A and B are shown apart, each in its own frame.
Chain A
Amino acid sequence: MPIIQVKKLKKKYDEFEAIRGIDFEVEEGEVFGLLGPNGAGKTTTVEILEGLIKSTSGEAYINDLDVSKDTKLVKKIIGVQLQSVNFFEKLSLFEIIDLFSTLYSYSVDPNKILERVGLSNKRDSYFKTLSGGQKQRLSIAVALVNNPKVLFFDEPTTGLDPQARRNLWELIKSFQEEGKTVVLTTHYMEEAEELCDRVAIIDEGKIIKINSPSNLIDELTSSGFKSSKKIREATLEDVFIDLTGKSLRED
């Protein structure tokens, strides 16, 4: 029984059709990637599933709950990290986590959650003093306050340095190990390859292909595709990480 079911989902803004009939299913415990260029409809799809916007037509279910009708119940079992991260500027991280756990009527120890995302040393700092990577990690921490079944991450690593990105990858992998379902949008292909069990490639509001990253690569190479670039043993990013180290810089 898939935990997320999306059937013929459409969203129209006046004249513009952001998504034009999307179907996919996500199994429990899967990390599912939505890939696509800017404006392809990734964020729209995710925001419909999060209950932030209403679809024009089609159906979407999370854990058998209709997203458009049982929006509140759906919101209780999902954790959300939005593309543009912002919280109350003049609250400390501890207070933000505490406030959000109250909103879910869920009692958690904010210290434990902050420790999980590596922000325990910042518990008394205000949100506005954080660096980009730290803001993303706080955003993920807030997504965890209700111990959600499904996590939505919308471009979590955009604009982060390689160290911070790798750090987030480890975090997302740890959620999968716990058995949580993760829906991730990104336009970094190496990120999708590293994290996702399956990916859906979206363009112009439609899903072109759904499969596991390795199957998609095999499919392409078996059709006779030859990369114009020489495949090397390492990438420039490997060089960068090797030279600058894996540890996070902002703490």
Chain B
Amino acid sequence: MKIYLSFTIAASKMFFRRKSSIFWSLFFPVVTMLVFGNANILGYSAPNVGLIDYANTDNSRLITDKLKKSKSTEIQLIYSENEAIELLTKGSIASYLTINSSNNNAESEIIITTRKGDFAEKEVVSNLINSVMIGDANSLEELSNIKSNIADINYQGYKGFIIPGIAAMAIMQNGIFSVVFTLLSYKNQGVLRRLQATPISPSHFIVGHLISRVTIIILQTFLLLIMGVFILGVSIGQ
């Protein structure tokens, strides 16, 4: 037991004393994550907009057709609120429209639902609807009431991909470089041969080394997640 511990401590000491290992496994992934997380690599693309037509009148169908012809969005017909919320959570649509009819004296209306923080999407969709309305104001009088609604979804978008991605990359990189390369260099230098001359079994050395590396990898992942939460503002565990 003491032998495992000694190897674990020795391997960790050697890791932290090597500047290149600190750079590549701690500094490099953090910087990469912050740079890519803040740069909007995907850029702007036409948002996919869901559409639920509860009214199903001539007018609402007219609006639907007009929206479909528009090039600035991709309209996807949806038939229930639950489905819409699900798509919104997954990120396959950026917002959805609900067309309600004027039953029971309630005014007919169009509701734009977007996610928290997606101001740009909301703007784009409401501008789009306005432009469609202006083109055919008369027939659309009854649908002139446009409201907006914010769904309680904290969509992480690109950052939600980049953080787990970089964390996974860092773990793999540590697995390859810091475990395999270290062992290979020990073999080439003859360090393993010297250990072979002592009465321990290879598992003592391997396990001690692995415990040290797994601990370092956990530490590294925590560091990346903490940076992600506090600097890039993603939320974890929802």
Enumerate chain A interface residues (CB-CB to B < 8 A).
50-52, 72-73, 75-76, 80, 82, 84-91, 95, 98-100, 102-105, 126, 142
Q: For A91, list chain B residues within 8 Å (CB).
A: 10, 13-14
- Cβ-defined partner of B197 (8 Å) among A52, A99, A126: A52
Q: Do the beta carbons of B190 and A84 come within 8 Å of each other?
A: yes
Q: Do the beta carbons of A90 and B13 come within 8 Å of each other?
A: yes
Q: Do the beta carbons of B14 and A52 come within 8 Å of each other?
A: no
How far in angstroms is the closest Cβ of chain A from B53?
68
Q: For B2, list chain A residues within 8 Å (CB).
A: 102, 105
Q: For B199, list chain A residues within 8 Å (CB).
A: 72-73, 75-76, 103-104
Q: Do the beta carbons of B194 and A86 come within 8 Å of each other?
A: yes
Q: Do the beta carbons of A90 and B14 come within 8 Å of each other?
A: yes
The 8 A CB mask of B1-24 against A (1 = contact, 0 = none) is: 011001100100110011000000
Q: Do the beta carbons of B6 and A102 come within 8 Å of each other?
A: yes
B189 at the interface (CB under 8 A from A): yes
Q: Do the beta carbons of A87 and B194 come within 8 Å of each other?
A: yes
How far in angstroms is the closest Cβ of chain B from A177?
25
CA distance A142 to B6 in the complex (A): 16
Please report whether the interface of chain B is mostly helix, strand, loop or mixed according to DSSP: helix
Counting from the closest, the 4 A-B pairs by CB-CB distance are: A75-B199, A90-B14, A80-B197, A86-B189
Q: Do the beta carbons of B197 and A50 come within 8 Å of each other?
A: yes
Q: For A52, list chain B residues within 8 Å (CB).
A: 193, 196-197
CA distance A43 to B199 in the complex (A): 20
Q: Knowing A91-B14, A95-B13, A102-B2 touch, does A86 contact B190 (C-beta < 8 A)?
A: yes
How far in angstroms is the closest Cβ of chain B from A200?
22
CA distance A50 to B14 in the complex (A): 28
How far in angstroms is the closest Cβ of chain B from A163?
26
How far in angstroms is the closest Cβ of chain B from A34?
17
Enumerate chain B interface residues (CB-CB to A < 8 A).
2-3, 6-7, 10, 13-14, 17-18, 186, 189-191, 193-200, 204
How far in angstroms is the closest Cβ of chain A from B81?
61
How far in angstroms is the closest Cβ of chain B from A87?
6
CA distance A88 to B197 in the complex (A): 15
Q: Do the beta carbons of B197 and A51 come within 8 Å of each other?
A: yes
Q: Knowing A95-B10, A99-B10, A102-B6 touch, does A88 contact B191 (C-beta < 8 A)?
A: yes
- Cβ-defined partner of A99 (8 Å) among B6, B190, B196: B6
CA distance A183 to B125 in the complex (A): 87
CA distance A102 to B204 in the complex (A): 12
Q: Do the beta carbons of B193 and A82 come within 8 Å of each other?
A: yes
Q: Do the beta carbons of A90 and B196 come within 8 Å of each other?
A: no
Q: For B195, list chain A residues within 8 Å (CB).
A: 103
Q: For A88, list chain B residues within 8 Å (CB).
A: 10, 14, 186, 191
Q: Do the beta carbons of B17 and A90 come within 8 Å of each other?
A: yes
Q: Knowing A72-B199, A103-B3, A103-B198 touch, does A86 contact B14 (C-beta < 8 A)?
A: no
CA distance A102 to B199 in the complex (A): 11
Q: For B17, list chain A residues within 8 Å (CB).
A: 90, 126
* Nearest CB in chain A to that of B200: its residue: A103
Q: Do the beta carbons of B190 and A82 come within 8 Å of each other?
A: yes
25 contacts between A and B (CB under 8 A): A50-B197, A51-B197, A52-B193, A75-B199, A82-B193, A82-B194, A84-B193, A85-B194, A87-B191, A88-B10, A89-B14, A90-B14, A91-B10, A91-B13, A91-B14, A95-B10, A95-B13, A98-B6, A100-B198, A102-B6, A103-B3, A103-B6, A103-B195, A104-B198, A104-B199
* Nearest CB in chain A to that of B199: its residue: A75
